[in-house]
Amino acid sequence: MSDPMDVLAPEHRRLRIGDAWRDAASGATFAVEDPATGKTIAEVADADVVDGLAALDAASRAMAQWAATPPRKRSELLTATYRALIERTEEVARLITLEMGKPLAEARAEVAYGAEFFRWFAEEAVRVEGRYNTAPAGGYRVLTVPKPVGPCLFVTPWNFPLAMGARKIAPALAAGCTTITKPAGQTPLTMLFLARLMEEVGVPPGVVNVVTTKRSGTVVSALLADSRIRKLSFTGSTEIGRVLLRQAADNVLRTSMELGGNAALIVCADADLDVALDGAMVAKMRNIGESCIAANRIYVEEPVREEFTARFVERMGALSVGHGLDDGVDVGALIDEASVTSIDDLVTDAVDRGARVLVGGARPDGPGHFYPPTVLVDVPDDARMLKTEIFGPVAPIISFTSDDEVIAKANDTEYGLVGYVFTRDLQRALRFTEGLDTGMLGINRGLISDPSAPFGGVKQSGIGKEGSHEGILEYLDLTYAAIDLP
């Protein structure tokens, strides 16, 4: 098999600004490592403020022409991007695995998921509509005209290096906005590949700019302070989201924030346990558990707790751990050493407070950032892992005896991104739907991400929606004209 880095030539490991691939103005670079080995796989340009502002110059210059581009043309370019990603799935997937660590099968699934945003918003691009109607009192007409908000800044995370960028870039371009993407420093290569792909299919210069940097705070702050940026979309931690919201307030920017989660997965005694187990494995272990919508706390009703736990432990213990490019691997490497240390600390804290580990629970020796699939029981309410995102392959199981009890526990968090409920009782499912403080809910299903559905949370899990028809509205302003017509 060829080297996965062969798909991204050295000249495309630089900054994508306007019509050029360029080095950072300072000439600085930083290393990207394979988390499964800890070895450097590439050097990419390390941008500073001057580079970020150059990208904004390019996005601003391209804005008027792109906004005036016919919606059908924008749609065709998004469709071409979708097709190019699907045609090159294997190349993109191997690149994702190499820089992020997830198994190749999951990387392929991310390519399919990310590509679908381009197809979905290609279809939405030609359906942006205003309205014209008679004012209720008569005498004039009401005209509403949707317009692109302007140049957008995207700050994307490392856990889905293609899909999280696609989820932002696709609706922005469909609406007629130009973009600057600042990918995570751990995983910049996939976004650079996407920029190259969009260049190849004919997206005009300046519409998609990519700025890679290890100096994220400095570069992003400078861009947010410039009045030409009109929209910020961020996916990442609630802590960083709060900082960015404060900075965005100075220029009263439109913002979309997809922030942290602490998802409760609830298994009722009347659930189909086969369905619940399948759903719990997906909700917990998709993307190695490194997902904001991962099941963080698993609540199981007491009559089925023992059976569910035994079967879940068996399935978690059967998962194979290794390099994501190797055949048969189910669980790849975590993103970095800090992530492994954080997860290990959460497990240690829970055990010190009385929890028992049924499988896993100890980091392995050797190179790479690995942690085994882990299940804990008897986890007390004051354990830190119940209050924060675990972001890894660790599952605490807690019993419950009533719906009111488990709803109260599930809602006892600052987060409100997603929840999961397994029950065969329709009325019970509806009570959970109304009772849980979440922006999304999986009913008898462990996978809820879909480009056609509105993705987003409540409370401190975020602002706005991504995907679906609502997703394109995040990139449109509305002008209202009152037209005198007696």
Q: Where are the alpha helices (DSSP H) in 298-422?
A: 302-317, 337-352, 403-411
Q: Where are the beta strands (DSSP E) in 360-444?
A: 374-377, 394-400, 415-416, 418-422, 440-443
What CA–CA distance (Å, rounded) separates 203 from 279?
39
What angle do helix axes 238-249 and 216-224 make, rounded to 10 degrees?
30
What CA–CA distance (Å, rounded) separates 76 from 442?
33
What CA–CA distance (Å, rounded) separates 45 from 16?
10
Catalytic site residue 258?
yes
CB 50 within 8 A of CB 28: no
Q: How many CB atoms lie within 10 A of CB 79?
A: 17
Q: Which of 33, 14, 358 is nearest to 187 (CA)?
A: 33
Q: Where are the alpha helices (DSSP H) in 142-181?
A: 163-175
Question: Catalytic pick from 33, 116, 258, 466?
Answer: 258
Q: How many CB atoms lie within 10 A of CB 282?
A: 17
CA distances 137 to 129, 134, 337, 395, Å, are: 24, 8, 66, 60
Active site residues: 258
